[in-house]
């Protein structure tokens, strides 16, 4: 707590890096893969930066061996990737696509060949479009059975080789952007009632998959990954302190408490009931959520930034402010819920070109909160800096800003560990550059520069950035080099 303790990472600490199928694979209709909701969404004019798609992405589908060899050279201990549901079940349910299973078997084997622990995300936002056409996807409770069937297929096919499973990636983000702000599929605006209902379906899908994993004898580790944006009250004015409390109940604990305790936060639920937007919960659901909460092995955290909470008057800002998807600093607007909270900028923190605050302490804050509140081990499943990178004429990429960002966050994580948090893994976002959902290819996160831009005919050659060599050293010394 006093920051004087030595930062030590456990000897079996998993230094890793993460990706998601839609953002990296490409091959969007190859070898029997079906269309996903994202394949359909990006074709609607104006939805993504310069109309970018993941049709080819960074061609990992064909270059995974090259990418994993680069990971091995670096000494990476774990590679977190997601499975594209529509490669396994092109229609979401029904007939299994053997070619899809084969691809992921090859990918997993390639990791294992180099002693890289595969960490598999079951759902990272790309939903088979057939399920949307058939019954509305996550809006219909039928999704729970189809998701569980798909998850069980993965456990059966890969369960003997994969020891780390992430059920859902950032349920809070894909539902918020999908049903409140219309920025992700299905592109619905302000459908609050449906937003909470969709979330309840997703919680049930997560919970039933966790229970199924155990029933199938799975002895690896399983949990969900949450996009955790911890909050600080603007000042000690009681109304601002209370706005932080409300923000946490509505924006953080609404998800974390269900994963960790199997129940919704009471004040938030009371508020939703009063507004008539609480989800329909069937008899027996609560027991299932509670059972799954007892069975999860870790809390997955995707951490990028913290936020500030201030009281927001009834005629104040809404959740629908402009988001910066261009990299033009200062182009995002303050958002909030009228009468509850708003999130002004933090005057003590610098921001990225996409207006995300840079706050290494926030990472420790997340770990401490999870440890105190849920007493669960933690996997940092994403953390990284999106930036414009420049490839020099000699093909070097000097991303010292990324090194600085990651170094400060790793230090903070080390402090969390020395203060009693059990952290199993740290995955940076991302290993190679890849598609940023709404920001095209210019917002880069990787250790490996991929020579492509918004133009699909680019060569896609891989180049090591300076941060590649930095992370290699961090892994080699188990974090000691940054003391
Ligand atoms: C997380 C997602 C990732 C990734 C990352 C960076 O929310 O899980 O898939 O995209 O954020 O976000 P962005 O690409 O918007 O900068």
Rounded to the nearest angstrom, the distance between the alpha carbon of 445 and the centre of ligand 1 is 9
Q: Is 179 in the pocket of ligand 1 (CB under 6 A)?
A: no
Rounded to the nearest angstrom, the distance between the alpha carbon of 176 and the centre of ligand 1 is 14
Q: What percent of the chain has pLDDT over 70?
A: 99
> Could you list the active site residues?
170, 382
Rounded to the nearest angstrom, the distance between the alpha carbon of 452 and the centre of ligand 1 is 18
User: Average of pLDDT values for 414-420?
Assistant: 96
What confidence score (pLDDT) does residue 3 get? Answer: 64
**Do 168 and 300 contact (CB within 8 A), yes or no?**
no
Q: What's the gap between Cα 38 and its chain centre?
A: 16
Q: Is 169 in the pocket of ligand 1 (CB under 6 A)?
A: yes
Q: What pLDDT, in 10s, does the model give residues 185-203?
A: 999 998 899 999 999 999 9
Residue 413: in which H helix or E strand, if any?
helix 400-418
Q: Is 429 in the pocket of ligand 1 (CB under 6 A)?
A: yes
Give the position, in ligand 1's atom list, of the atom nearest the Cα of 20: 9
Q: What pLDDT, in 10s, does the model give residues 35-78?
A: 999 999 999 999 999 999 999 999 999 999 999 999 999 999 99
- Cα distance from N-terminal residue to C-terminal residue, the chain: 17
Distance CA 430, CA 445 (A): 5
What confidence score (pLDDT) does residue 421 get? Answer: 97
Q: What pLDDT, in 10s, does the model give residues 439-466?
A: 999 999 999 999 999 887 789 999 999 9
Rounded to the nearest angstrom, the distance between the alpha carbon of 5 and the centre of ligand 1 is 33
pTM, 2 dp:
0.97
Q: What's the gap between Cα 186 and its chain centre?
A: 18
Q: Is 352 in the pocket of ligand 1 (CB under 6 A)?
A: no
User: Average of pLDDT values for 196-212?
Assistant: 98
Q: Is 121 in the pocket of ligand 1 (CB under 6 A)?
A: no
Mutational test site, ligand 1, from 42, 174, 255, 302, max ligand atoms within 8 Å of CB: 302
**Tokens 């930066």, residue?**
49
Q: Is 437 in the pocket of ligand 1 (CB under 6 A)?
A: yes
Distance CA 166, CA 81 (A): 10
Task: List the domains of the chain with CATH numbers.
Answer: 14-482 (3.20.20.80)
């Amino acid at each position: 707590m006093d920051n004087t303790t030595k930062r030590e990472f456990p000897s079996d600490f998993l230094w890793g890096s993460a990706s998601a199928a839609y953002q990296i694979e490409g091959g969007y209709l190859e070898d029997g893969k079906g269309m996903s909701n994202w394949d359909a969404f990006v074709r609607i004019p104006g939805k993504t930066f310069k109309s970018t798609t993941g049709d080819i992405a960074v061609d990992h589908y064909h270059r995974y061996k090259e990418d994993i060899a680069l990971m091995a050279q670096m000494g990476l201990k774990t590679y977190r990737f997601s499975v594209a549901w529509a490669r396994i079940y092109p229609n979401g349910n029904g007939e299994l696509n053997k070619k899809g299973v084969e691809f992921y078997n090859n990918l997993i084997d390639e990791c294992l060949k180099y002693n890289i622990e595969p960490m598999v995300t079951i759902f990272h936002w790309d939903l088979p479009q057939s399920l949307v056409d058939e019954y509305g996807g996550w809006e219909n409770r039928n999704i729970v059975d189809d998701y569980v069937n798909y998850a069980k297929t993965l456990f059966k096919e890969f369960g003997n080789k994969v020891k780390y499973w992430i059920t859902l990636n950032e349920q809070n983000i894909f539902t918020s952007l999908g049903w409140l702000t219309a920025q992700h599929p299905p592109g619905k605006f302000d459908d609050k009632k449906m937003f909470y209902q969709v979330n309840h379906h997703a919680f049930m899908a997560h919970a039933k998959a966790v229970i199924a994993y155990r029933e199938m004898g799975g002895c690896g580790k399983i949990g969900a990954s949450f996009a955790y944006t911890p909050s600080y009250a603007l000042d000690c004015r009681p109304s601002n302190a209370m706005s932080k409390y409300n923000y946490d109940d509505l924006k953080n604990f609404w998800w974390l408490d269900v994963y960790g305790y199997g129940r919704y936060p009471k004040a938030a639920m009371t508020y939703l009931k009063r507004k008539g937007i609480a989800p329909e919960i069937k008899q027996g659901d609560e027991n299932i959520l509670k059972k799954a909460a007892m069975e999860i092995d870790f809390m997955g955290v995707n951490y990028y930034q913290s936020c500030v909470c201030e009281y927001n008057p009834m005629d104040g800002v809404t959740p629908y402010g402009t988001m910066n998807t261009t990299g033009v600093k200062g182009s995002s607007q303050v958002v909030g819920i009228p009468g509850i909270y708003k999130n002004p900028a933090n005057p003590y923190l610098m921001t990225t070109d996409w207006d995300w605050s840079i706050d290494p302490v926030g990472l420790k804050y997340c770990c401490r909160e999870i440890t105190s509140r849920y007493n669960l081990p933690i996997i940092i499943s994403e953390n990284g800096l999106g930036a414009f990178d420049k490839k020099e004429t000699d093909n070097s990429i000097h991303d010292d800003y990324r090194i600085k960002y990651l170094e400060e966050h790793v230090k903070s994580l080390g402090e969390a560990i020395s203060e009693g948090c059990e952290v199993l893994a740290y995955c940076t976002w991302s290993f190679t550059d890849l598609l940023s959902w709404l920001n095209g290819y210019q917002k880069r996160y990787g250790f490996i520069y991929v020579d492509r831009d918004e133009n699909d005919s680019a060569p896609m050659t891989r180049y090591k950035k300076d941060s590649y060599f930095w992370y290699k050293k961090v892994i080699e010394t188990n974090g000691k080099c940054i003391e």
